[in-house]
A and B are shown apart, each in its own frame.
Chain A
């Protein structure tokens, strides 16, 4: 017995991108069904670091990141919870003069972008914050960047979308997406949905879907290596990153220090975890950076499958091949902060046909061979795309 639904938009994926897209579409009065294979926010949207950071992003990404920043400021009004969001500040540490120079260059490059970066030398830093380790030369502070709890955020967006009238179907894996010449037909177990628009926000699994739509992109799975200490008295008010990568950490409200850095391990199509060799590299770095952690204990590690593209930029926008299909994926290492902004941009694109935020740098066709003349960007009748 197959249940039939008809809607304007089907969103595939109940992570932060899909859920915020669904919410903002509903706010514009568009009918939405969102399909999630597992539970909303149970994959990468729920297992990332929780950094709400603009500092360090590419120039291309900053307008979107700024738009998101404004939405984060209205989070409670938008989704009815603050999800432990704090504008605690994000500090990027320089461990060498060369790294400090690089931070100075970034601050100059982004001076007109509204980040309000403050460069701190070693002396100033010691006055303001007890970062240990003699190797810290200084760093760059972004006062309005911060952190939030990723376990809470995407489920809250999904719940808000549902309250706003979206149909949110969990434990509903999409099996096929076809086009009957007029509308998309999306199939899941016991379910068939007709829709004018499909949004591919399937996270690490979105690449397979794009490929089936004739838009193969070189996406690889990159699992972040995450861990958390037992709860400790509060001492770390900033979220910390290190120029050039390696370790990053923050202290959550409960007092635990959450950290990441280095690669995790992909177990299979759906699961990933931190790896022992990475943990052995993370722990001494963490203690060197924050001697306060010397006697602390690690209580849990985790990871998740995140999709990464070679130029480290995501794919956002309309399909180049199929009218009515939209993509929002490939956010490995930086999607959490962008989530609300991406949702609003997607809703704008779908409802108005264009976005007021520049997203050209994220077009999917930057990875595609030019289409031949016969393959214009119009719906392909009877084409099975998933």
Chain B
């Protein structure tokens, strides 16, 4: 070891907390499991109310019914919310709180409403930070009125708002149809659903998808419902551009190529765009977890064993943050991670329950693979991206700028290219543009996407106000 007075020497505290980061399906089931075995967790969540994105709860004073909010999933949502409500008094619950840094065995927190910084010391931590949209830009994607699919859904679910009065949903993935259905069902005008996946892919995936008949049936239902209600649904399309009005004021149309190669133009006032989801992995990165490229997710994800233990003792990874598997799997992996934590603390658990959860998760993974066949990632996206396409909207970096930087630095990975041309260097720190940036770089270098690395996480995980105050407890905390 090299000599320094500034080493991090922070042994795992025996009296540290069992911390759960994220109160979505994974975090809630983990909390329930810990509490049932006598361990009182600290649950930290960015949202003001528990439920996560998929079962996001409305602010006080909003009164849509669970059926309106969650459709087929109303029962699951209600069950999960009730579970959390029943735990609430017995856990240390910290809503509106961002974990912005991890250092040794301390998590650094920001209470977003009061702008107060604080810390929590962990003996164990279950990271259940979920996912965000996987964004692949098209020309015009920075116009007002162009949203991600997930963003469009949150607007509807959380506040009962539509992103526009005439919406095109485009991209691919199961969420595409679900959000379109939810918009149409809520009375919104859906101009078209444009799926980049060819229809034939669906037939290819059908046998494997029937492993989860209930889930598949729901998907079939959404598509049929949309068609019955005269919503145009097109497969195998190529998205060409979003067009704005005078002076690009707001999106007015989506231009696309149909499966036969004919150019089409669909007028609209908003676009919901997305290609499934990407895991939110900054926290495992700062915690020091090992990552590996996962072909199924087409990105680097933190590694876990079958019970959701990471490479760092005491760190467990659950839910979509460790790989996109959906809400049901998130509940299972949250419970499984909690059981692993309990077992590692020497607490008696029901081994058969853990075994059952492992089996169910394996089944889900097979289904997830079938979904990937049905809704493939458009691998030719980067090759088709024109030089003037904006990849990183924080820094306004185009595909062409990335390509010329890559041409001059052939052995540069994504972090080097970031340093040289500022891609991913803005407010989002690559959380939103990272997928597109690595695709462009891999294509420019003509190497597989796993070879260009991943954007390293650097604190703060999300922007931090300069004028925050620091709680006394945090100032006292040992910080290695």
- Interface positions of A (Cβ within 8 A of B): 39, 42, 46, 151-152, 155, 159, 170-171, 204-205, 207-208, 219-223, 229-231, 254, 263-269, 272-277, 279-280, 283-284, 286-287, 293-302, 305
- Which are the 9 A-B pairs with shortest beta-carbon distances? A221-B4, A297-B463, A151-B419, A298-B464, A266-B4, A276-B108, A280-B470, A277-B479, A263-B6
Can you identify 27 A-B contacts, CB atoms within 8 angstroms?
Answer: A39-B416, A151-B420, A155-B416, A170-B411, A219-B3, A220-B3, A221-B6, A222-B4, A222-B6, A223-B4, A223-B6, A265-B8, A265-B480, A266-B4, A269-B1, A269-B2, A273-B458, A275-B103, A280-B470, A283-B466, A283-B468, A297-B427, A298-B460, A300-B425, A300-B459, A301-B458, A302-B458
**Which residues of B lie under 8 Å from residue A263 when comparing CB positions?**
5-6
11 additional A-B residue pairs with CB within 8 Å, beyond A220-B4, A276-B106, A287-B466: A39-B416, A46-B419, A151-B419, A219-B3, A221-B2, A222-B4, A263-B6, A265-B103, A267-B8, A297-B427, A305-B4
The answer to whether residues A276 and B2 also contact, given A155-B420, A298-B463 and a CB cut-off of 8 A, is no
| Bound-state Cα–Cα, A93 to B266, Å | 60
**Which residues of B lie under 8 Å from residue A266 when comparing CB positions?**
2, 4, 6-8
**Which residues of B lie under 8 Å from residue A204 when comparing CB positions?**
2
- By the criterion CB–CB under 8 Å, are A301 and B3 in contact? no
| Bound-state Cα–Cα, A265 to B479, Å | 10
- By the criterion CB–CB under 8 Å, are A276 and B103 in contact? yes
The residue in chain A whose Cβ has the minimal distance to the Cβ of B419 is A151
| Bound-state Cα–Cα, A219 to B3, Å | 8
- By the criterion CB–CB under 8 Å, are B5 and A293 in contact? no
Instruction: Encode B98-131 as 1/0 by CB contact (under 8 A) with A.
Output: 0001010010100000000101000000000000
The minimal Cβ–Cβ distance linking B171 to chain A, given in whole angstroms, is: 28
The residue in chain A whose Cβ has the minimal distance to the Cβ of B458 is A300
- By the criterion CB–CB under 8 Å, are A280 and B474 in contact? yes
- By the criterion CB–CB under 8 Å, are B4 and A297 in contact? no
**Which residues of A lie under 8 Å from residue B185 when comparing CB positions?**
none
**Which residues of B lie under 8 Å from residue A264 when comparing CB positions?**
6
The residue in chain B whose Cβ has the minimal distance to the Cβ of A229 is B466
**Which residues of A lie under 8 Å from residue B409 when comparing CB positions?**
155
| Bound-state Cα–Cα, A265 to B422, Å | 25
Residue of B422, B426, B467, B479 touching A230 (CB-CB under 8 A): B426
Contact residues of B between 277 and 299, Cβ < 8 Å to A: 288
| Bound-state Cα–Cα, A279 to B411, Å | 33
**Which residues of B lie under 8 Å from residue A273 when comparing CB positions?**
103, 458-459
**Which residues of A lie under 8 Å from residue B207 when comparing CB positions?**
none
| Bound-state Cα–Cα, A204 to B467, Å | 34
- By the criterion CB–CB under 8 Å, are A274 and B463 in contact? no
Residue of A265, A283, A294 touching B6 (CB-CB under 8 A): A265
Check: B66 CB closer than 8 A to any chain A CB: no
**Which residues of B lie under 8 Å from residue A268 when comparing CB positions?**
1
- By the criterion CB–CB under 8 Å, are B466 and A298 in contact? yes
| Bound-state Cα–Cα, A280 to B5, Å | 20
| Bound-state Cα–Cα, A297 to B6, Å | 26
Check: B412 CB closer than 8 A to any chain A CB: yes
Check: B33 CB closer than 8 A to any chain A CB: no
Point out which of B119, B412, B468 has the most chain A C-beta atoms below 10 A from its C-beta: B468
The answer to whether residues A276 and B429 also contact, given A229-B466, A254-B422 and a CB cut-off of 8 A, is no
Check: B465 CB closer than 8 A to any chain A CB: yes
**Which residues of B lie under 8 Å from residue A295 when comparing CB positions?**
465-467
- By the criterion CB–CB under 8 Å, are B466 and A296 in contact? yes
Check: B475 CB closer than 8 A to any chain A CB: yes
The residue in chain A whose Cβ has the minimal distance to the Cβ of B7 is A266
- By the criterion CB–CB under 8 Å, are A205 and B466 in contact? no
- By the criterion CB–CB under 8 Å, are B467 and A287 in contact? yes
The answer to whether residues A294 and B3 also contact, given A280-B117, A280-B475 and a CB cut-off of 8 A, is no
| Bound-state Cα–Cα, A302 to B457, Å | 10
Point out which of B117, B427, B460, B466 has the most chain A C-beta atoms below 10 A from its C-beta: B466
| Bound-state Cα–Cα, A205 to B422, Å | 28
| Bound-state Cα–Cα, A223 to B5, Å | 10
Instruction: Encode B1-39 as 1/0 by CB contact (under 8 A) with A.
Output: 111111110000000000000000000000000000000
**Which residues of B lie under 8 Å from residue A229 when comparing CB positions?**
466
- By the criterion CB–CB under 8 Å, are B103 and A39 in contact? no
The minimal Cβ–Cβ distance linking B433 to chain A, given in whole angstroms, is: 14
**Which residues of A lie under 8 Å from residue B460 when comparing CB positions?**
298-301
**Which residues of B lie under 8 Å from residue A155 when comparing CB positions?**
409, 416, 420
- By the criterion CB–CB under 8 Å, are B429 and A299 in contact? yes
| Bound-state Cα–Cα, A205 to B466, Å | 34
The answer to whether residues A220 and B420 also contact, given A230-B463, A287-B466 and a CB cut-off of 8 A, is no
The residue in chain B whose Cβ has the minimal distance to the Cβ of A38 is B416
The residue in chain B whose Cβ has the minimal distance to the Cβ of A151 is B419
**Which residues of B lie under 8 Å from residue A276 when comparing CB positions?**
101, 103, 106, 108, 117, 119, 459, 474, 479
The answer to whether residues A208 and B2 also contact, given A155-B420, A294-B466 and a CB cut-off of 8 A, is yes
| Bound-state Cα–Cα, A283 to B468, Å | 8
Residue of A42, A277, A279, A287 touching B416 (CB-CB under 8 A): A42
Instruction: Encode B76-96 as 1/0 by CB contact (under 8 A) with A.
Output: 000000000000000000000
- By the criterion CB–CB under 8 Å, are A171 and B103 in contact? no
Residue of B101, B117, B459, B467 touching A294 (CB-CB under 8 A): B467
Point out which of A152, A221, A294 has the most chain B C-beta atoms below 10 A from its C-beta: A221
